[in-house]
């Protein structure tokens, strides 16, 4: 039986605006669970009928693109080392890794970074700072945002349809699975990056006696 409070929450007119705001802010603050909310709304949509799936996907995708573009603009204006948080910790390491490759492989980086919080910030900032044309970045961001929204909504909707009479359980299961998949994707991409770095040819050494 559907919990009445969940049906009321799913039908709230503030739900989609809250989703939009959270996904935009999540472009900057990685601790905000925007993916979790998208998954949860996909599950609610399939199990209770609200909110409409056709509304969740474009709202989430548009917010993701706006967040990406804002970071791109910051990178274009201020570069990659103006503030201390750009040079320290996990984000500083991610910026250093992407600085040399974003112009050569922007599509791969934009699409994979979409699912890895710190990498997403690093790639979008670096894309702007590197001089990559916005007309080249924007289509990649749009495609990545749509794919991300469809993926997370689809995960939630699958559990919502499977557990239609138990929406709370459906939301819980879908969120747990989505988090596990996200951790797995992060691990695979990190391993792939380390493998590429270890197999990359080193720069030739110059003899001190060379002219």
Query: Could you report the per-residue pLDDT of 92-145, keeping only the tens digit for each?
Result: 565 556 666 666 677 777 887 787 767 788 888 888 887 788 998 999 999 999
In a domain, 108, yes or no: no
- Residue 135 burial (10 A CB sphere; 0-12, 13-18, 19+): exposed
Buried/exposed code over 159-180 (b: 16+ C-beta within 10 A; e: otherwise): bbeebeebbeebbebbbeebee
In a domain, 211, yes or no: no
pLDDT tens-digit series, residues 182-208: 566 656 655 655 565 555 454 444 444
What pLDDT does 165 receive?
65
Can you give the pTM of this predicted structure?
0.73
Separation between Cα atoms, residue 194 and residue 26, nearest integer Å:
26
Structural domain harbouring 21:
4-78+137-195
Q: Is residue 179 a contact partner of residue 117, using CB atoms and an 8 Å limit?
A: no
- Residue 7 burial (10 A CB sphere; 0-12, 13-18, 19+): middle
In a domain, 156, yes or no: yes
In a domain, 23, yes or no: yes
51 cis-preceded (ω within 30 degrees of 0): yes
In a domain, 141, yes or no: yes
The number of domains in the chain is 1
Banded pLDDT at 211 (limits 50, 70, 90): very low
In a domain, 104, yes or no: no
- Please state the three-class secondary structure of 114-139 as a single string: CCCHHHHHHHHHHHHHCCCCHHHHHH
Secondary structure of residue 179 in the 3-state scheme: helix
pLDDT higher at 192 or 154 = 154
In a domain, 88, yes or no: no
In a domain, 11, yes or no: yes
What pLDDT does 103 receive?
62
Q: What percent of the chain has pLDDT over 70?
A: 61
Which of the 8 DSSP states describes residue 163? T
What pLDDT does 73 receive?
92
Radius of gyration, alpha carbons of the chain: 20
């Amino acid at each position: 039986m559907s919990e009445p409070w969940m049906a009321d929450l799913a039908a709230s007119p503030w739900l989609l605006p809250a989703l939009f705001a959270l996904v935009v802010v999540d472009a900057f603050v990685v601790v905000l669970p925007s993916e979790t909310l998208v998954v949860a709304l996909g599950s609610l949509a399939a199990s209770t009928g609200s909110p409409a799936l056709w509304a969740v996907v474009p709202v989430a995708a548009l917010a993701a693109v706006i967040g990406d573009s804002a970071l791109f603009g910051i990178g274009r204006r201020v570069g990659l080392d103006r503030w201390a948080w750009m040079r320290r910790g996990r984000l500083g390491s991610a910026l250093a890794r992407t600085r040399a490759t974003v112009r050569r492989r922007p599509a791969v980086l934009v699409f994979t970074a979409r699912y890895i919080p710190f990498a997403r910030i690093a790639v979008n900032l670096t894309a702007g700072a590197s001089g990559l044309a916005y007309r080249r970045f924007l289509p990649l961001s749009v495609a990545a945002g749509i794919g991300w929204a469809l993926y997370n909504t689809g995960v939630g909707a699958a559990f919502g349809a499977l557990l239609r009479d138990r929406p709370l359980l459906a939301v819980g299961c879908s969120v747990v699975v989505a988090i596990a998949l996200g951790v797995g994707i992060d691990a695979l991409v990190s391993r792939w990056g380390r493998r590429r770095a270890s197999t990359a040819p080193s720069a030739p050494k110059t003899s001190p006696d060379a002219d």
